[in-house]
Structure 1
Amino acid sequence: MKFEGIICPMISPFTVDGKVYADGVRSLIEFLCKNGVNGIFVCGTYGLGPAMSIDERKKIAELSVEHASGKMDVIIHVGSSNIDTSIELAKHAEDVGADAIASTPPFYYKYDDEPVYSFFKSLIEKVSIP
């Protein structure tokens, strides 16, 4: 898969009472499509990914794929502080139809090269999307 053009980091819309704002996700994706964006980067730090619960991240991923599929590429950020959560999010991203996943290494502690390598190796072995 080759990604080209504008890949926009997408904010994650929430209601004033802290719920995922489904209409906001739809509206935002429509706006981005109409304005020439070729892909969205969902649940990254700009989109509050690391601050959200697993269920919130999954819901944003589902809505993003639902509304963007066939119109633009969808890359879902699955990084977290542990491999099990990242694998769960990666499998979910693949299951809902994301075009690709992205991840940071586990954060908070400083890791040597081997644990970071093992983290990414474990992650890519669990999904077939880039």
Structure 2
Amino acid sequence: MLLDKYKGIIPAFYACYDEAGEISPERIKALAIHLYEKGVQGLYVGGSSGECIYQNLEERKATLKYVAESLKGQLTLIAHVGAPSTKESVELAKYAEELGYDALSAIPPIYFQLPESAIEKYWTEIMDSTDLPFIIYNIPQSTGYNLSINLLKKLLQNDKLIGVKNSSMPVMDIERFKAAAHDDFIVFNGPDEQYVSGRLIGADSGIGGTYGVMPELFLKAEEFVSAGDFSEARKIQHDINDIIMTLCSLNGSMYSVIKEIYKLKGVNIGSVRGPLEPVSGDDIEKVEGIKTRIDEVIMNYQTQN
């Protein structure tokens, strides 16, 4: 069944740079293999966590290429192809299809406040450019547009639309999108802070930016939800949220904190690209404490079984 391919924990893939801040093929491949070995079900490549809006077209193509070379056929691979123009988005979509990606996804157009008709045309042109399934990426807090039920129903007339990656904060949006579509329509929980509640209200799966730094905890959360052990599911969500708060508590981007934690894990994927800020000063010493806390929570749940 189509839906099964997209169930489970799907980390949003992080941008990987060398010491000069350029795309690193070796580090991309190392991160891809690292996440594969953790047991995740797929990867969402080139989205917010991939710093897509700070990369040019060739850099984004390179990331798609090196992830596919590492894992095509072994995990479900979703290519985020949202770009400033329809032309660029379509070019990325066609390239992802050539590489063997399983599905495409895209945010709505950004910067200009476009009418809904323009957003409909944008997503439709991406869908019509390839034979791949398509997943809408709804993240209104960043794009300024919140997917309407009216537009969703229009776009559902295109058989290539199979789901929504919903990163709006009201968990009810997940239920409303699910109710407006057909049985095989996939809704992915986006906000990591509400993974458990998103799954309970109807999300089929999850794609998230902090999954990559603690995949073990999200895999365990999914295990509890799937088993109907909601007491344990609430507890692990509490632990996850405590960690997310610490990831966001330092000076610098949350992704720069995550990347510093990765260095401590022995997987160097570089830092972030400006205007995102790296961790600096006294905060660098605090990163080790955050990593230690993540390791402790992971160990706690592993020793329970």
* TM-score with structure 1 setting the length: 0.96
The 3-state SS of whatever aligns with 2:8 is coil
1:51 aligns with 2:92: no
- 2:33 corresponds to which of 30, 33, 40: 30
- 1:39 corresponds to which of 39, 42, 48: 42
1:68 aligns with 2:71: yes
- 1:19 corresponds to which of 17, 22, 33: 22
Q: Cα offset for 1:81? A: 1.5
1:113 aligns with 2:116: yes
Q: Cα offset for 1:26? A: 1.2
Which consecutive residues of structure 2, in runs of 5 or more, have no partner in the other structure?
A: 134-305
Q: Tell me how far apart the structure 2 counterparts of residues 128 and 121 of structure 1 sit (CA, whole Å).
A: 12
- 2:90 corresponds to which of 70, 84, 87: 87
Which consecutive residues of structure 1, in runs of 5 or more, have no partner in the other structure?
A: none
The structure where helix makes up a greater share of residues is 2
Given residue 24 of structure 1, which amino acid in structure 2 is its aligned partner?
R
Residue matched to 2:164: none
Given residue 107 of structure 2, which amino acid in structure 1 is its aligned partner?
T
Q: Tell me how far apart the structure 1 counterparts of residues 121 and 33 of structure 2 sit (CA, whole Å).
A: 38
CA deviation vs aligned residue, 1:71-97 (integer Å, no higher than 9, x gap): 211111100111000000000000111
Given residue 124 of structure 2, which amino acid in structure 1 is its aligned partner?
K
Instruction: Compute the RMSD of aligned alpha carbons.
Output: 0.9
Indicate the larger mover: 82-91 or 20-29.
20-29
Q: Following TM superposition, where does structure 1 have runs of at least 4 consecutive aligned residues deviating by more than 4 angstroms?
A: none
Q: Cα offset for 1:22? A: 1.1
Given residue 129 of structure 1, which amino acid in structure 2 is its aligned partner?
L
The 3-state SS of whatever aligns with 2:44 is strand
Q: Tell me how far apart the structure 2 counterparts of residues 54 and 38 of structure 1 sit (CA, whole Å).
A: 27
8 A contact 1:39–1:74 mirrored in 2 = yes
Identical-pair percentage? 27
Q: Tell me how far apart the structure 1 counterparts of residues 18 and 39 of structure 2 sit (CA, whole Å).
A: 26
8 A contact 1:43–1:50 mirrored in 2 = no
1:127 aligns with 2:130: yes
Q: Cα offset for 1:12? A: 1.5
Q: Work out which of the two has the higher radius of gyration on C-alpha atoms and give 1 or 2.
A: 2
Given residue 12 of structure 2, which amino acid in structure 1 is its aligned partner?
P
Q: Cα offset for 1:18? A: 2.3
Q: Cα offset for 1:123? A: 0.9
The 3-state SS of whatever aligns with 2:21 is coil
Q: Tell me how far apart the structure 2 counterparts of residues 39 and 32 of structure 1 sit (CA, whole Å).
A: 9
How many residue pairs were aligned? 130
Given residue 94 of structure 1, which amino acid in structure 2 is its aligned partner?
E
Q: Tell me how far apart the structure 2 counterparts of residues 110 and 37 of structure 1 sit (CA, whole Å).
A: 36
Q: Tell me how far apart the structure 1 counterparts of residues 117 and 28 of structure 2 sit (CA, whole Å).
A: 38
The 3-state SS of whatever aligns with 1:6 is strand
